[in-house]
Amino acid sequence: MHCLRSLVYQLGRRPIRNKSMFFCYNKKNVQESSRYYGTEIKIEDESDTIVRELCKGNDNLEKKLKVLMLEVEVMRQDGRCAPDNIHSDQWERLLEMPSRKQRTNYLTFLWKIEKKKENEKSRKEARRKELVESPPEYIKEFPDDVLYGIKHQSMFLRIRDQSINMFDNYRRGKSSWTSLWIVPDSYRLKTPPAF
């Protein structure tokens, strides 16, 4: 990966010619213009910025960091577990580790985190494609029924019979606790007049 970055960096420094031809009706009169790109613009490699940011002019630290970068690149080429993207704070932590075994374990840890994120992203993308490609078909028992759920665009909540019964029973119980006392009148107990 580092070699590829260096190659791209070197190619970016060369001037690139863009020749555009403008033709007129007269075939003898051909206008040619050339433009140079990349001569003034300096493209820096990511590893150079990390080295400059972490080392701040310290030659020993810079040498150690470049050796670590080479060690990580060798791990990648050998097929061992090493992450593709390492941030500057992670490089700083790698510089502080005294033994090679600690660095290998830390790089394996970073690689596992990176792969976990990639797998999660691919799982989400596959799930999104699956939902788009095959929407579930619902069969309505009656044509006027409302389908409830997230994708069915219903502004109403589904109210089940059990919920209605629980609500009624709660109100009935609460009214028995807080309502007025019922006092039966005595005249109702008498027998009604006969017609």
Per-residue pLDDT averaged across 157-161, rounded?
Answer: 76
- Write the CA distances from 186 to 27, 173, 180, 190, integer angstroms: 123, 27, 18, 7
Model pLDDT, residue 8: 55
User: Which carries the bigger pLDDT value, residue 147 or residue 193?
Assistant: 147
Q: How far lies 56's CA from each of 42, 50, 62, 74, in Å?
A: 20, 10, 8, 25
Contacts of 140 (CB under 8 A, 6+ apart): 147
pLDDT one-digit tens code per residue, 12-34: 655 444 444 444 445 555 455 44
- Span 140-154, mean pLDDT? 69
Average pLDDT estimate for 137-166 = 73
Residue 17 backbone phi and psi in degrees, to 5: -95, 135
Q: State the pLDDT at residue 109.
A: 95
Whether 37 has a pLDDT exceeding 50, the answer reads: no
Over residues 127-136, the mean pLDDT reads 82
Angle of helix 59-78 versus helix 100-133 axis, rounded to 10: 50
Share of the chain above pLDDT 70, in %: 61
Residue 84 has pLDDT above 60, yes or no: yes
For residues 14 and 84, the model is more confident at 84
What's the confidence (pLDDT) of residue 161?
Answer: 85
pLDDT confidence of residue 191: 61
* 16-23 and 30-37 beta bridge pairing: antiparallel
CA dist., res. 48 & res. 69, Å (int): 11
